[in-house]
């Protein structure tokens, strides 16, 4: 079966000469339809740089990204715009990703507003107005009418992240990239957000690229896991193979850090 996403020999270097950083180095992988692929690695390993390439926010130096057979790297502006509809994102920092001058109900509609030609996938009745669309989306992430007219600073971190998730799913994308969605949240809220993401992924049959430095969270969420170190993928395995002896030393190191913390 043709994968949803195929990434081949991707390279992205920042800076030049002695100061050059190989943020993404010869990275290849696929994501199947409906799959949650986990991406784990320590801070600075290149996870967000890779995400920015997949979102076509930056161009790679080398390599290709193919979505359902078409190249994102070679796509012309118009085609790229259409492809973007199918790859959406939830970033770590909902403080930065939500516009603090927009009330919640407007923030939720930002991605839909970028594609006025697309009929909102979760609209039940075409006569419904924009606000009703927002209410539906917020309902899907467990927020109620009382949150509609609030501004981001009037929400908790977990609630803000729910708004970002509602915006992320609003176009019912083929692929949702979630980059450290729970890093700024406390443990209980973190668990609830992960549960919500898993539930939405199953219900909406989306593929996920789930990015985190927390191998336990990645293990909980993903069918398959990539381990990234210094820009390169050093290990790749099915989630249930996480404790097998052939795991890379670095994977074992990430695992033992979690294990030590739980002692
Ligand atoms: N725009 C940029 N200009 C120069 N260097 C950059 C830029 N973006 C990232 N880098 C460098 O590339 C490397 C990878 O950074 P990246 O943000 O992708 O890591 P990360 O795995 O997402 O880390 P974290 O877990 O902290 O989010 C780092 O060394 C970083 O300093
Ligand atoms: Mg990052």
Ligand nearest to the CA of 46: 1
pLDDT score at 36:
97
Angle, vertex CA 92, rays to CA 67 and CA 167, nearest 5: 60
Q: How does pLDDT run across 23-76, given as a tens digit for each residue?
A: 999 999 999 999 999 999 999 999 999 999 999 999 999 999 999 889 999 999
Confidence at 233, pLDDT banded by 50, 70, 90: very high
> Looking at ligand 1, which atom is closest to the CA of residue 51?
18
Q: How does pLDDT run across 136-159, given as a tens digit for each residue?
A: 999 999 999 999 999 999 999 999
**Tokens 């990239």 — which residue?**
177
Which domains are present in the chain?
87-171 (3.40.50.300)
Cα–Cα dist 59/57, whole Å: 7
Q: Mean pLDDT in the chain?
A: 92
Confidence at 93, pLDDT banded by 50, 70, 90: confident
Q: Where does ligand 1 bind, in terms of residues with CB under 6 Å?
A: 14-15, 21, 23, 41, 43-49, 213
Q: How does pLDDT run across 95-124, given as a tens digit for each residue?
A: 678 999 999 999 999 999 999 898 888 877
Ligand 1 pocket test, candidate residues 47, 211, 217, most atoms within 8 A of CB: 47
Cα–Cα dist 211/53, whole Å: 14
Percent of the chain with pLDDT over 70: 96
What lies within 8 Å, CB to CB, of 75 at 6+ separation is 56, 83
Does residue 255 carry a pLDDT above 70?
yes
Our CA dihedral for 13, 17, 21, 24, rounded to 10 degrees, sits at: 30
Query: Are the beta carbons of 80 and 53 closer than 8 angstroms?
Result: no
Confidence at 262, pLDDT banded by 50, 70, 90: low
Q: Count other Cβ atoms within 10 Å, centred on residue 212.
A: 25
């Amino acid at each position: 079966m043709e994968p949803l996403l195929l990434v081949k020999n991707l390279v992205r270097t920042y800076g030049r000469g002695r100061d050059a950083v190989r943020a993404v180095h010869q990275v290849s992988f696929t994501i199947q339809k409906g799959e949650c692929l986990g991406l784990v690695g320590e801070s600075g390993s290149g996870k967000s740089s890779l995400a920015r390439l997949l979102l076509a926010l930056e161009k790679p130096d080398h390599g290709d990204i193919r979505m359902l057979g078409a190249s994102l790297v070679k796509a012309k502006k118009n085609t790229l715009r259409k492809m973007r509809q199918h790859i959406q994102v939830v970033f770590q920092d909902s403080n930065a990703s939500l516009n603090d001058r927009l009330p919640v109900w407007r923030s939720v509609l930002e991605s839909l507003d970028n594609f006025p030609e697309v009929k909102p996938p979760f609209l039940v009745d075409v006569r419904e107005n924009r606000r009703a669309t927002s209410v539906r989306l917020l309902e899907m992430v467990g927020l109620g009418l009382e949150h509609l007219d609030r501004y981001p600073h009037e929400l908790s971190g977990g609630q803000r992240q729910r708004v970002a998730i509602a915006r992320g799913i609003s176009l019912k994308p083929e692929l949702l990239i979630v980059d450290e969605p729970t890093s700024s949240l406390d443990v209980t809220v973190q668990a609830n957000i992960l549960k919500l993401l898993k539930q939405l992924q199953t219900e909406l049959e989306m593929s996920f690229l789930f990015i985190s430095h927390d191998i336990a969270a990645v293990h909980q969420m993903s069918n398959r896991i990539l381990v990234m170190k210094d820009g390169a993928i050093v290990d790749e395995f099915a989630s249930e193979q996480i404790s097998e002896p052939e795991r890379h030393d670095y994977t074992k190191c990430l695992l033992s850090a979690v294990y030590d913390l739980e002692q």
